[in-house]
């Protein structure tokens, strides 16, 4: 295994080929010390940056990258099958504005410079439902503090979950932090996915299973 990724289902030959040829060109290496300059990762025409933590099969990330080709997207995922599916979309749509980290997103957040991100997405992360495992949840006060540091004033943070306990924890953690403004003004604002928020495979599975997702949008307040 390269980059310490976790294996899932057996890859198709075409996917395995992309993992061997395309992934090394897109892979992000977090420095052991110092700051990671996002401009160093992308072509010169990129002027905005966004981050998706846990992109799953990459449907949302690929759709956002296709719609915003002047934005550089860093996607974080550790599962091989999801990475392979995203690589397939990158190759099919000629997406030059995606880079991939196969590691703990918190390492990347710690290395990013202040005020560099224009958007961040954490969609349907693992809820770690057992009490003893909740400390592993990616949406936490510590992660939110790092995001608040790395995001520009006015940048948007989007969170989604179909787990009721995690939904409450997400909302409580973000609203308790002074750096964030919740953009919801009515119930439909968090009950309904916005039109510019592409759906994911996991969301479809959650809905088919009768679970109710929420869609949370927050703005980074001015410093």
Structural domains in the chain plus CATH codes: 27-220 (3.40.50.150)
Contact 73, 61 (CB under 8 A): yes
Per-residue pLDDT tens digits of the chain, which is 223 residues long: 333 445 556 899 999 999 999 999 999 999 999 999 999 999 889 999 999 999 999 999 999 999 999 999 999 999 999 999 999 999 999 999 999 999 999 999 999 999 999 999 999 999 999 999 999 999 999 999 999 999 999 999 999 999 999 999 999 999 999 999 999 999 999 999 999 999 999 999 999 999 999 999 999 999 9
**What is the largest distance, in Å, between two alpha-carbon atoms of the chain?**
50
- What pLDDT does residue 2 have? 36
Closest CA to 116 of 51, 25, 28, 34: 51
Number of Cβ within a 10 Å radius of residue 62: 24
* pTM greater than the 0.85 cutoff: yes
Which pLDDT score, from 0 to 100, does residue 139 have? 98
- Annotated catalytic sites, by residue? 126
Identify how many contiguous H helices and E strands the chain contains and give both numbers.
Answer: 9, 7
How far, in Å, CA of 24 to CA of 168, rounded? 38
């Amino acid at each position: 295994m390269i980059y310490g990724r976790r294996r899932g289902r057996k890859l198709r030959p075409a996917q395995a080929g992309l993992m061997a040829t395309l992934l090394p060109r897109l892979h992000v290496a977090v420095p052991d010390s110092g700051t990671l300059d996002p401009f160093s990762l992308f072509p010169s025409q990129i002027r905005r940056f966004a981050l998706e933590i846990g992109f799953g099969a990459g449907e949302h990330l690929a759709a956002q990258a296709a719609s915003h080709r002047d934005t550089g997207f860093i996607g974080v995922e550790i599962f091989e099958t999801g990475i392979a599916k995203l690589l397939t979309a990158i190759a099919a749509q000629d997406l030059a504005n995606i880079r991939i980290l196969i590691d703990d997103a918190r390492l990347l957040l710690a290395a990013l410079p202040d005020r560099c991100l224009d958007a961040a997405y954490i969609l349907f992360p693992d809820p770690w439902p057992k009490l003893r495992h909740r400390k592993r949840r990616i949406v936490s006060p510590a992660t939110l503090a790092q995001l608040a540091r790395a995001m520009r004033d006015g940048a948007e943070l989007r969170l989604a979950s179909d787990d009721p306990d995690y939904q409450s924890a997400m909302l409580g953690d973000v609203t308790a932090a002074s750096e964030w403004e919740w953009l919801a003004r009515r119930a439909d604002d968090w009950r309904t996915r916005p039109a510019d928020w592409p759906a994911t495979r996991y969301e479809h599975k959650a809905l088919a299973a009768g679970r109710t997702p929420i869609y949370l949008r927050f703005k980074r307040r001015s410093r």
